[in-house]
Structure 1
């Protein structure tokens, strides 16, 4: 399913989505009689979904309501379990930790539009913002989420490696050293599971595009929980530090620049 960009919801959009949007508007006291009252704007930066801001005029004057529509990406099931992600999002919504869930349709969902800005790659190196992220992450890691609290890191790495080998040609597998990664994962698992490890609910994808900040209140909100699970808290911190070497708005978003990996002074 695709939405018309910078325009109206097309007639080809699923009736299910239209009905859910109309229902959400109705809850807020707005009556929508024509689909052209919904204005669609694409949002950049999403990695595994298509994300749109949808506005419509209210029944209370010139103000507009805003929601975020997330259309699930195809083929992402090799990276995470969508059902688990939806359950996590619903729980986070109930806990007031992220945007509220407003509605669901078969290919996606409608979320509360957060009036805050998405951070940039430079923001992660700002000491004040970094301290706010640290405090929020501590709160996130302490959440008591329902379901099993088993560490998923090692199983997930092996699953991704298996999928990578299945899709890669022999030459590509050799180029990226895939044949040696199973042993490396086993070595890391053995070394990093010795002794005490604090286990908490981890975001596991703490890149700048998944962190939002209200400019007035300086409140930090973590969004997008596709990869969230119980893991060693140290892994969440390490993942965030690695993301500080990434720029997803560059011409090479898949290449990390470890020359800008945070040093001891920064962290």
Structure 2
């Protein structure tokens, strides 16, 4: 209340009675708890809206909170996201963006997908503090150690953690030989972190906790992998890889992404990035598999993190042989005998 009252005062409002506050929990967040807070302004009938983010317990293992705040403020100065209105020990208050959060189905809308592709290119070109190199490999190795320290010997064996350092090294060597444009990546581009103004059709990318410099192919792969998820369903942890975008859809997205700065990309360049993105889905599966496994021990949000992790590791092992052994463009959404999705060349 002290923080909200101070924020209200800064915005020219006065909160006399706590009962005038309207608190709306926002679903779909898996690292923090997020709330929309409304209160009446001096103008009759008008409501002031802010967003309050309560940090999840134990999630500091994933990122440095102070660094994330610096990223948040820097991105805000670039005009790319909400303003930071206040900080407190266990959370912060952000400007409420008057736009709607996208849904899982929105990612498949060709018009919206095109807008996202252009915004991603703009985001990747941001000049941010930090070393312009891939950060995913070091982060994953750190998380392997964290996961081993939390898991039982049986879980370490079941999830293949003993061999994961070697897997990551092999993957790093293989992927670093291909397309390696480095940009400032969001690294968690699920639909809940993308907002759209219905009137202007402008896209805003929010939540930068995992953001860092990385290969742009990794970030594009992350976005494609997120199309298998619906975090607002009755089973938000279940992934359906039959929803992974087909080759034509991926090519269209990447063509728009590369061409968003005005120069039409060649087919060769589009296909080069399509192939690199498919290979980087493997790094995504390990990254979020480890995230799910660690989260099952440190986060209290109602989400089956361990089952989510199992699916990511399983998809990694199913797709790895084809993705690493073939230079062809690969898809992840074909189904064998109507069961688990396997990779195949197209």
Distance 1:53 1:43 in 2: 7
What secondary structure is seen at the aligned counterpart in 1 of 2:247?
coil
- Alignment of 1:53 with 2:21, yes or no, is no
Deviation at 1:259, TM superposition (A): 2.1
Distance 1:251 1:156 in 2: 31
Matches within 5 A, 1:15-26: 18-26=1-9
Q: Which has the higher helix share?
A: 2
- Runs of 4 or more consecutive aligned structure 1 residues displaced over 6 Å after TM superposition: none
Deviation at 1:194, TM superposition (A): 2.2
Moved more, 96-105 or 199-208: 96-105
For residues 216-236 of structure 1, the C-alpha deviation after alignment (integer angstroms, 9 at most, x for no partner) is: 111111111010000001100
Deviation at 1:151, TM superposition (A): 1.9
**Alpha-carbon contact 2:26-2:34 (below 8 Å) kept:** yes
Counterpart residue number, 2:45 = 62
Residue 211 of structure 1, aligned match among 159, 173, 194: 194
Matches within 5 A, 1:1-267: 18-194=1-177, 197-267=180-250
Structure 2 segments unaligned to the other structure (5+ residues):
251-346
What secondary structure is seen at the aligned counterpart in 2 of 1:190?
helix
Q: How many residues align?
A: 250
Deviation at 1:247, TM superposition (A): 1.8
Distance 2:115 2:207 in 1: 18
Superposition RMSD in Å: 1.4
Deviation at 1:92, TM superposition (A): 1.3
Distance 1:256 1:190 in 2: 28
Deviation at 1:209, TM superposition (A): 0.8
What secondary structure is seen at the aligned counterpart in 1 of 2:2?
helix
Deviation at 1:159, TM superposition (A): 1.3
Structure 1 segments unaligned to the other structure (5+ residues):
1-17
Distance 1:210 1:184 in 2: 29
For residues 71-114 of structure 1, the C-alpha deviation after alignment (integer angstroms, 9 at most, x for no partner) is: 11110012122111111111112221011111111111111111
**Alpha-carbon contact 2:68-2:209 (below 8 Å) kept:** yes
What secondary structure is seen at the aligned counterpart in 2 of 1:47?
coil
TM-score with structure 1 setting the length: 0.89
Counterpart residue number, 2:255 = none
Distance 1:36 1:236 in 2: 43
For residues 52-87 of structure 1, the C-alpha deviation after alignment (integer angstroms, 9 at most, x for no partner) is: 111111112221100001111110012122111111
Distance 1:36 1:19 in 2: 14
Deviation at 1:210, TM superposition (A): 0.6
